[in-house]
Amino acid sequence: MARIAQERDDIDASRAHLEHAATVLHAAPPGADRDRLRGWVLVGLGDQHRRTGRYPAAGPRSRARQMVESAQPRDHVLYAAVLTSQGITAKELGDLETAARCYAKVSRIHGEAGATPADAATLAHNLA
């Protein structure tokens, strides 16, 4: 629902769906599936803040990165999404060194875990 609202440029509804999902998942029993879903929700929330120019509020991605980096087994697709989102934010803020580090890690993940053509295209777009 959050993604549909985002595609309709309804940022408030998208954020509301993501916040609801975060609340539900926070109360869910601990486990790898819950943490993976929470990671995606946190990436979405961080992106919503970034899209509205509230960069300091984009902190949920940092929590998502911590969760992903400590997860076993690591979800490579989610990890690449977190790093891509952080890279985009860094680039928009003019921190090109951080953006380059994030994108370099995404490239390594793609090399190790494999990348779909869409993943490769997204990385190429963000590097441009």
For the segment 92-98, the average pLDDT, to the nearest whole number, is 93
Min mean pLDDT across 7-11, 97-101, 112-116, 123-127 is at: 7-11
**pLDDT at residue 61, rounded to an integer:** 67
Q: What does the alpha-carbon distance between residue 73 and residue 120 come to, in Å, rounded to a whole number?
A: 23
Is-above-0.85 flag for pTM? no
**pLDDT at residue 31, rounded to an integer:** 87
Please give the DSSP secondary-structure letter assigned to residue 30.
P
Neighbouring residues of 113: CB distance < 8 A, sequence distance ≥ 6: 76, 77
Domain locations in the chain?
Answer: 2-127
CATH of domain 2-127: 1.25.40.10
For the segment 69-96, the average pLDDT, to the nearest whole number, is 89
pLDDT over 70 at 59, yes or no:
no
Which two tokens mark 59? Answer: 């902190």
